[in-house]
Amino acid sequence: MPCRSCRDKANAAAAGHLHPMPPMPPIPCPPCALEHLKLAEAAQRAGDLYRAVWHLAQAATHAATRQQAAALRDARIALQRINNNVDFARLRQLIGGPHAEH
């Protein structure tokens, strides 16, 4: 008699649910990235490190270029590991161009 895990896998395979489609990556959206950046900045000011890190990660997924995503990822890692202050003005300028909102 197979174990429960093997039975569950066999049942899922028979039903066609063993290999579901992976989720699609988010579409690059600079306005969404800027919004998450603003929320991360507000969370950092409020002292909520978890939310700040989460919003920086979300901003990186919506970044339009790999350079922007890498800069956001580096800022998230610095905030997460060292609890450094992040230069949000520089990140806003990188994502939104020279006339990004402040």
Query: What are the residue boundaries of the structural domains of the chain, listed by start?
Result: 30-96
More confident residue, 99 or 19: 19
pLDDT in tens, 41-63: 999 899 888 999 999 999 999 88
Question: pTM above the 0.75 mark?
Answer: no
What is the widest separation between alpha-carbon atoms in the chain? 67
pLDDT in tens, 5-27: 555 666 666 655 556 556 666 67
Q: What is the pLDDT of residue 14?
A: 62
Compute the distance between CA of residue 10 and CA of residue 73 in angstroms, rounded to an integer. 39
Q: At residue 85, what are phi and psi to the nearest 5 degrees?
A: -75, 135
CA–CA distances in Å: residue 53 to residues 7, 47, 58, 68, 80:
40, 11, 9, 16, 7
Compute the distance between CA of residue 69 and CA of residue 77 in angstroms, rounded to an integer. 12
